[in-house]
């Protein structure tokens, strides 16, 4: 299976550092989080596949083999009703790894008093099926290897 790539620039954090109980406990699935810089950043597809869901604040890419990855842009950002997000792709679109999906206005999210931390979660897999390829606290760029199945 191909590696899951980083969907954005930032600092790699363990899911346990996410200030949301469901993500932190791995209830949504295993993965990592990325703390983005205070600028507008593009969130890109972490693997090639089809966009199962595209919300202003999150998206799910499903690879041809069924592997699904959720990228959630900030926490509680659904409250913003799309403010601070610009979608470049839509549900059902086929994307290549690294293709821009959503622009994420990190300063606007933080100004609204919300966390801009981005959980990257492998859906319907257990923690023992994935390996984190980047060390905690490391700087990462979009498209860099992040997780391995």
pTM equals 0.96
pLDDT tens for 38-58 read 999 999 999 999 999 999 999
Domains and CATH numbers, the chain: 4-148 (2.70.70.10)
Burial 27-65 (b: 16+ CB within 10 A, else e): ebbbbbbbbbeeeebbbbbbbbbbbeebbbbbbbbbbee
- pLDDT of residue 24 exceeding 70, the answer is yes
* Mean pLDDT over the full length of the chain: 95
E-state strands within the chain: 4-5, 10-14, 31-35, 40-44, 49-55, 58-62, 68-72, 85-87, 94-95, 100-105, 118-123, 131-132, 139-140, 145-148
Report, as an integer, the average pLDDT of 126-133. 92
Per-residue pLDDT reduced to its tens digit, 112-128: 999 999 999 999 999 99
Catalytic (active-site) positions: 72
Cα angle 33-3-74, degrees, rounded to a multiple of 5: 20
For residue 131, pLDDT over 80 is answered with: yes
């Amino acid at each position: 299976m191909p590696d899951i790539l980083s969907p954005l620039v930032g600092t790699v954090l363990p899911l346990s550092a996410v200030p949301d109980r469901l993500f932190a406990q791995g209830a949504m699935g295993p993965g990592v989080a990325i703390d983005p810089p205070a600028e507008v950043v593009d969130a890109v597809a972490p693997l090639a596949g089809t966009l199962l869901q595209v919300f202003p604040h999150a998206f799910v890419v499903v690879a041809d083999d069924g592997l699904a990855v959720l990228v959630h842009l900030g926490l509680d950002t659904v409250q913003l009703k799309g403010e601070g997000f610009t979608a470049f792709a839509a549900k059902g679109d086929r994307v290549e790894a690294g293709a821009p999906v959503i622009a994420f206005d990190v300063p606007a999210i933080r100004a609204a008093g919300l966390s801009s931390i981005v959980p990257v979660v492998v859906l319907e897999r257990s923690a023992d099926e994935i390996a984190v390829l980047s060390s905690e606290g490391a700087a990462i760029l979009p498209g860099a290897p992040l997780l391995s199945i």
